[in-house]
Amino acid sequence: MQDETREAKIPYHSSRSEKPPSWWANRTRKAKSSPLNIPKGRESDLHLTVAELLDWILLPPAFYSTFPAGWGKLKGATADRLKKSGLKAGMPDILVFYRCRAMGIELKVSGAQPSSVQRTTFAQLQAAGVPIYVCRSISDVIEALNKCRVPFKCTSNVMYTPALKGETSCV
């Protein structure tokens, strides 16, 4: 018996611009898979999508910022100056802050693993009380936010908000 799947265009919602980014236009999802998984692709596509998501759903005063330390090799003088200024290797891609708490999100495409430097830094952050989540899809990011009880804006367009012991992350 062959499994039937339907494809549907994924809706675009953004607080940044009226027009969706060019990489969004041809995205489709299969009805039987999670609507929030990113197809196999580039990590940079996942970064862009997660940034759009966080801009859209985080309820202030929740705040996030990316940490671009691993976005390629820096030239000698710049790398040296940043290292002397305290930039640490292996930081997670995204830091989320909410009410005196922080969490780290490391984005990896399917099959990729954190480096040994990242694993060491993640262990240090976890020892300091900062939970770190390695996420491979939008649904992984939303699940991590829920585990840390980061609130979302309530909107009828939020497609996935897993309950945490009977609670939702919408406030």
Residue 166 belongs to a domain: no
Residue 164's pLDDT is: 44
What CATH number does residue 91 fall under?
3.40.1350.10
Residue 170 belongs to a domain: no
Residue 135 belongs to a domain: yes
| Nearest in space to 123 (alpha carbons), one of 132, 135, 114, 115 | 132
Evaluate if residue 147 carries a pLDDT over 60: yes
Residue 85, CA atoms < 13 Å, CB-side half-sphere: 8
* Number of domains the chain is built from: 1
Residue 44's pLDDT is: 83
Domain that holds residue 129: 10-147
Residue 25 belongs to a domain: yes
| Nearest in space to 97 (alpha carbons), one of 67, 118, 117, 138 | 67
Between these two residues, 96 and 12, which has the higher pLDDT value? 96
Residue 93 belongs to a domain: yes
pLDDT band of residue 21 (cuts 50, 70, 90) is: low
pTM of the predicted model, to two decimals? 0.67
Residue 85 belongs to a domain: yes
* Mean pLDDT across 48-60: 93
Residue 18's pLDDT is: 53
Residue 68's pLDDT is: 67
Residue 154 belongs to a domain: no
pLDDT band of residue 96 (cuts 50, 70, 90) is: very high
Separation of alpha carbons 156 and 93, rounded Å: 28
CA of 160: how far to CAs of 75, 79, 153, in Å?
41, 40, 12
